[in-house]
Amino acid sequence: MKKFFVSFHLLLHSIPSPLVAFFTLSVVLMNLLANKTILSLDWLALDGGFLLSFVPFLCMDIVTKYYGQDAGDKLNVFALFVNLFCVLVFYVASSIPTQDDYSAFNSIFGGTWFILMDSMIAFVASGFFNNALNTVVGKMFKKNPDGGAAFFVRSYVSTFFGQYVDNFLFSFLTFYVFAPIFWGEGARWNMVQILMGALTGALAELLMEVFFSPIGLFVVRRWKKEGVGKEYFEAMASFKEAK
């Protein structure tokens, strides 16, 4: 347990702060955007969260490639606790009574408990899945694991399937399980909408990953050139030797 917290502490100190900031902020904003359905057809439905969901997955791909799957999972858990803290602050702010009408503000930032819960469940589960798949695909490139092809393929495959898991779990839990109970049957998405929404969202987010993944490769290579995370790698190596 002590080694876990020490490695967690070193990891957060080793990952450059801009990436951690982009990652955690995007996770928090995804929860807020998920409150709005931006497209609802008979065969397709999407919520606003998909506009940003490629950002945390790209960040996880960068961290998993450079620091390893365990580091990507730890960053995922860190974002979960930051998100829980923000949810608590938003709830308190929305619950404070005022003379002026802030009902619109309160409904957005106060959130709906099952939307927040479903979003966090879906993100954490898909994050672990993304990091594991990214690592498995990366091991297939034994001749040149640090090449551009290896980075792009492992990122594209893990992002597509990770995003599908994220979209499916959130849509199913929110709009198939809980929304009909608390908002009425009119709020229910059918299974075709859920499956197609998850697929369409995953494809859209994959396109964003394709567009921005060269930035991820540049970041990884720049970190390696500058020796970023040296203290973390040395500590992890010493932990393995101690075993």
Whether 242 maps to a domain, the answer reads no
pTM for this model (two decimals): 0.88
Whether 198 maps to a domain, the answer reads yes
Output the pLDDT for position 141.
94
Whether 166 maps to a domain, the answer reads yes
Give the pLDDT confidence of 162-218 residue by residue, as tens digits.
Answer: 999 988 998 899 889 998 988 888 888 889 889 988 898 888 888 888 999 999 999
Whether 223 maps to a domain, the answer reads yes
Q: Concatenated DSSP letters for the chain?
A: -HHHHHHHHHHHHHS-HHHHHHHHHHHHHHHHHTTSEEEE-SS-EEEGGGGTTHHHHHHHHHHHHHH-HHHHHHHHHHHHHHHHHHHHHHHHHHHS--SS--HHHHHHHS--HHHHHHHHHHHHHHHHHHHHHHHHHHTT--S-TTSHHHHHHHHHHHHHHHHHHHHHHHHIIIIIIIHHHHH-GGGPPPHHHHHHHHHHHHHHHHHHHHHHHHHHHHHHHHHHHHTTTHHHHHHHHHHHHH-
Output the pLDDT for position 45.
67
Which three-class secondary structure state does DSSP give residue 188? coil
**In which domain, by residue range, is 49 found?**
2-237
Residues 6+ apart with CB under 8 A from 72: 60, 63, 64, 127, 130, 131, 134
By percentage, how much of the chain surpasses pLDDT 90? Answer: 43
Q: Which of 73-77, 110-114, 149-153 has the lowest mean pLDDT?
A: 110-114
pLDDT above 80 (res 158): yes
pLDDT above 90 (res 110): no
Number of domains the chain contains: 1
By percentage, how much of the chain surpasses pLDDT 70? Answer: 97
Output the pLDDT for position 242.
66
Whether 80 maps to a domain, the answer reads yes
Average pLDDT, the chain: 88
Read off the pLDDT of each residue in 71-82 and give the average, rounded to a whole number: 92
Whether 243 maps to a domain, the answer reads no
Output the pLDDT for position 162.
93
pLDDT band per the 50, 70, 90 thresholds, residue 2: confident
Whether 24 maps to a domain, the answer reads yes
Give the pLDDT confidence of 3-41 residue by residue, as tens digits.
Answer: 778 888 899 999 999 999 999 999 888 878 877 777 777
Give the pLDDT confidence of 232-241 residue by residue, as tens digits.
Answer: 898 888 877 7
Whether 75 maps to a domain, the answer reads yes
pLDDT band per the 50, 70, 90 thresholds, residue 243: low
